[in-house]
Amino acid sequence: MYSYSFTLVVDGPDIQEDAIIDALFENGCDDGTVGRSDGIQFIIFDREAASFAEAVQSAIDDIERTLELKTVHQVN
């Protein structure tokens, strides 16, 4: 396993609300940090996976399982 760092831009409800943060954590995003800059919401991940593609896809799956959140506009 390798550790990959990347940022996903997220659309949907305010991801800095406690209920959303708790739901993200419960759905597997315990390796992410939420943030907002200039009105753009994002989650910075440090995720372990066999490949970068697997790390990103698993993070997207975890985010989209959480309430009405939709992603991704860009991966950095």
Q: What is the pLDDT of residue 72?
A: 65
Per-residue model confidence as pLDDT tens digits over 5-36: 999 999 888 999 999 999 999 999 999 999 99
Report which secondary-structure segment, H or E, holds 60: helix 52-64
Q: What is the pLDDT of residue 12?
A: 85
The CATH number assigned to the domain with range 2-75 reads 3.30.70
Q: What is the pLDDT of residue 73?
A: 62
Q: Which residues pair with 3 in a beta bridge?
A: 48
Q: Angle at Cα 60 formed by Cα 71 and Cα 47, nearest 5°?
A: 130
Q: What is the pLDDT of residue 41?
A: 93
| Residue keyed to tokens 């997207």 | 60
Q: Give this prediction's pTM.
A: 0.88
